[in-house]
């Protein structure tokens, strides 16, 4: 036990005397949460659009007024000819062009049908999609108002209600993801780097020749990171509650326990990486490419898994982060307990046991 305390003291000296580790440990979580919370957003606001109005009648005027009154769009330009459409897109001035057909009002009244072409710049597909949806709902709204006036027999009124995140705040979606990334980064990358550093410097050899046992070395090395990861998790949750007013509907205790489970699985991955890499640089590259990229791309953090091609959906199941994010969202946003999350928890637990087993085995082979 005394040896263990001495070892951990030494480990904390390493961490607190290295500015780079300090930044990754304490700067990164805060910067990431703030970045994702404030700067990066899926919502659209004041998107510049252009209008090509071939009719210029009462109906089109009214629709255009509605659009310009909404906070989502600002009408940047009025164009007169179809030929100009491509020009405005190419200049990058606007994200969308609304093209009202000729005799809009007349068609609407006579044929009960008129067309608006919504042309969006799909170089950014998500934004294009959102713009088109928003325009649609403004049009629907207009239609309903008109129908009220002419009083037709029946009408279907869709009343969408968004649950668990009614204001569609992207920060609610990012917090679980950022928490996952940070815990992965701190637990897996930092431990793998810190273990390979001892290998690189030759101190690992000295430790292995000393009476201290290999597993004690590993536990001594990962313990400080468990501790720091837990602190990080707390900082992230507190920040998201107080700065972004993110609700935590479910049990904080469950949230804590699930986080510890995920931290341990990430640490096991970190140990595994350290057994296969000889230098800190390799460990860092493997952590970044092998862990961070899948976490960002395939965990459902940013890109919804359901819209991925099937092979990627299958691969995503092998990523612990995916399950952790489901658990986090469940606890934080839906307020559900273990009775709804036992399956995900069990999968995560299984993966953790598997990674620990694998890294113990690898570690032994290396010692031979």
Among 30, 64, 138, 212, binds another protein (CB under 8 A): 212
347 token code pair: 């999968």
Query: What does the alpha-carbon distance between residue 131 and residue 293 come to, in Å, rounded to a whole number?
Result: 29
Among 133, 140, 210, 281, binds another protein (CB under 8 A): 210
Among 2, 20, 112, 161, binds another protein (CB under 8 A): 2
**Does 158 engage in binding with another protein (CB under 8 A)?**
no
A 10 A CB-CB count for 59 gives 18
Strand partners, 49: 75, 96
**Does 133 engage in binding with another protein (CB under 8 A)?**
no
**Does 7 engage in binding with another protein (CB under 8 A)?**
yes
Which residue, 221 or 329, has its beta carbon nearer to another protein? 221
Rg (CA), the chain: 27
60 token code pair: 């089109």
Q: Which of residues 311-350 bind another protein (CB under 8 A)?
A: none
Smallest distance from the beta carbon of 2 to another protein, in angstroms? Answer: 7
Using DSSP bridges, classify how beta strands 47-53 and 96-100 pair: parallel, antiparallel or unpaired.
Answer: parallel
Query: What does the alpha-carbon distance between residue 135 and residue 124 come to, in Å, rounded to a whole number?
Result: 17
Smallest distance from the beta carbon of 217 to another protein, in angstroms? Answer: 9
Smallest distance from the beta carbon of 326 to another protein, in angstroms? Answer: 40
- Three-state SS for 53? strand
Q: Which of residues 12-51 bind another protein (CB under 8 A)?
A: 13-14, 17-18
Q: Which stretch binds another protein (CB under 8 A): 91-99, 181-189, 209-217, 300-308?
A: 209-217
Helix axes 252-276, 338-367, angle to 10 degrees: 20
Among 35, 120, 201, 245, binds another protein (CB under 8 A): 201
Query: What does the alpha-carbon distance between residue 121 and residue 48 come to, in Å, rounded to a whole number?
Result: 11
Q: Which residues bind another protein (CB under 8 A)?
A: 2-3, 6-7, 9-10, 13-14, 17-18, 201-203, 205-213, 367-368
């Amino acid at each position: 036990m005394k040896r263990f305390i001495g070892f951990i003291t030494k480990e904390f000296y390493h961490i607190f005397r290295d500015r780079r580790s300090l930044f990754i440990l304490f700067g990164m979580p805060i910067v990431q949460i703030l970045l994702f919370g404030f700067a990066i957003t899926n919502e659209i606001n004041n998107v510049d659009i252009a209008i090509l109005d071939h009719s210029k009648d009462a109906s089109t005027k009214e629709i255009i007024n509605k659009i310009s009154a909404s906070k989502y769009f600002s009408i940047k330009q009025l164009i007169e000819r179809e030929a100009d459409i491509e020009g405005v897109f190419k200049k990058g001035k606007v994200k969308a062009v609304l093209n009202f057909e000729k005799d809009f009002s007349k068609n609407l009244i006579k044929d009960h049908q008129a067309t608006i072409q919504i042309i969006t710049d799909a170089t950014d597909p998500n934004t294009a999609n959102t713009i088109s949806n928003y325009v649609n709902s403004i049009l629907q709204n207009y239609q309903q108002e008109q129908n009220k006036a002419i009083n037709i027999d029946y009408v279907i009124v869709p009343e969408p209600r968004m649950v668990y995140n009614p204001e569609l705040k992207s920060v609610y979606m990012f917090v679980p993801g950022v928490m996952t990334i940070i815990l992965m980064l701190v637990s897996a990358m930092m431990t793998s780097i810190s273990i390979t550093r001892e290998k690189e410097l030759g101190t690992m050899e000295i430790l292995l020749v000393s009476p201290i046992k290999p597993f004690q070395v590993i536990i001594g090395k990962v313990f400080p990171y468990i501790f720091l990861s837990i602190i990080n998790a707390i900082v992230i949750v507190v920040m998201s509650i107080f700065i972004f007013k993110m609700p935590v509907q479910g049990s904080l205790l469950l949230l804590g326990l699930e986080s510890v489970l995920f931290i341990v699985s990430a640490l096991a991955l970190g140990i595994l990486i350290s057994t296969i890499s000889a230098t800190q640089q390799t460990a860092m590259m493997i952590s970044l490419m092998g862990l961070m990229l899948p976490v960002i791309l395939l965990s459902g953090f940013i890109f919804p898994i359901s819209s991925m091609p099937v092979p990627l959906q299958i691969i995503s199941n092998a990523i612990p982060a995916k399950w952790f994010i489901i658990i986090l969202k469940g606890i934080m946003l839906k307020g559900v307990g273990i009775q709804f999350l036992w399956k995900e928890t069990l999968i995560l637990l299984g993966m953790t046991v598997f990674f620990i087993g694998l890294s113990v085995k690898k570690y032994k082979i290396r010692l031979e």
